[in-house]
Amino acid sequence: MVKLPTWDPPAEPDLPDNVRHLDGPGLLLRGWLVEGTQDSTDDVDRVAEDLPEARGPRFPSGVEQLDRRMFGGLEGLTACVGGPKLGKSHFAMRCSIAACQDGWQSIYLNAELRPGELQRRLHDAAGYTGQPPAYLRGGRWRAYTPMGARAPWIFVDKLAKDIRATSNRVLFVLDSINRMVSIGKQNNYFADMTEWIEMFRVATLVSNGRIAALIVAEESRAGIDKGDKLRYASDVFLQIKRVENGPTIKFEVPLSRSGPPVWTDPHRLEWKCSRFEREESWDQQ
């Protein structure tokens, strides 16, 4: 069984003295990651055939048509934005499982569900009742449920240790950033949201593709994502939209750094298994 640890943070988190007084988690992670960076200006002399891929590796979403139209999946810092009860958390779970099946390590930070609900959703989505499948074992899929105002700081400390301890590709899933910011609020809502977004934006840039992030965010009543920073900082901006007020949804990618706008046919969410199935009746229209 996959263990889902929870934290009841102490009054003073176990962090180094030079870390406790930083303004936000982005500065902390940035320092850890930049330690390993090197000057790459010599690359201007390399011939085109010798240059590395322009973008980092893609991670599958688990939605077949979306992955196909996105040339293999999502990438870098991906934002998933949508209104309430459209299946954003189910999509986040499906992404985290599909990434594990593709060889990634998934670290799922959930601020929406109780630990028991999260455990049950994982079982149902991965389709097992006893021992988890091999692709989830050995720390390949791990989840953390924040508890208390200092939980984000403790998570960042844990995140850095995970990055240093593995050479695997790591997908971080934040579900949702709005709740995360509310739990760990230090300054004001949008300033703290910017810190979290910058933390993962820098991580994806300086890790040479080893780190990717899926950040789930709520839309406001006006249909705008809460915090425009996420829209413009992300490599892929993905929206989940309801189709004509019916039971189906569609995925739209209006903004992407590596391709044109993309959209899918209507899909129906199978709530029990967190799976999005393309609506077969669409073929007849």
For residues 45 and 94, the model is more confident at 94
Domain extent at residue 80: 55-284
Q: What is the pTM of this model?
A: 0.81
79 to 52, 172, 243: CA distances (angstroms): 25, 12, 20
What would the mean pLDDT of 185-192 be, rounded to a whole number?
A: 70
Token pair of 45 as six digits:
């002399």
- CATH number of 109's domain: 3.40.50.300
Closest of 37, 36, 19, 17 to residue 28, by C-alpha:
19
123 is a domain residue: yes
Q: What is the pLDDT of residue 163?
A: 63
The tens digit of pLDDT for each residue in 225-265 reads 555 678 888 999 999 999 986 789 999 999 998 889 999 99
What would the mean pLDDT of 97-114 be, rounded to a whole number?
A: 89
Token pair of 55 as six digits:
């973008």
For residues 145 and 262, the model is more confident at 262
45 is a domain residue: no
Q: What is the pLDDT of residue 60?
A: 96
Token pair of 277 as six digits:
């199935």
The tens digit of pLDDT for each residue in 12-37 reads 444 444 444 444 555 556 666 556 55
Instruction: Kindly report which listed range (34-48, 76-90, 140-154) carries the lowest average pLDDT score.
Output: 34-48
1 is a domain residue: no
Overall number of domains in the chain = 1
5 is a domain residue: no
200 is a domain residue: yes
Are 40 and 205 spatial neighbours (Cβ–Cβ below 8 Å)?
no
| Token pair 């593995």 in the structure block, residue | 166
| Token pair 């455990």 in the structure block, residue | 119
What residues contact 135, with CB distance under 8 A and at least 6 apart? 100, 101, 141
263 is a domain residue: yes
Instruction: Kindly report which listed range (3-17, 65-79, 160-174) carries the lowest average pLDDT score.
Output: 3-17
191 is a domain residue: yes
43 is a domain residue: no
What would the mean pLDDT of 79-104 be, rounded to a whole number?
A: 94
Is the pLDDT at 283 greater than 80, yes or no? no
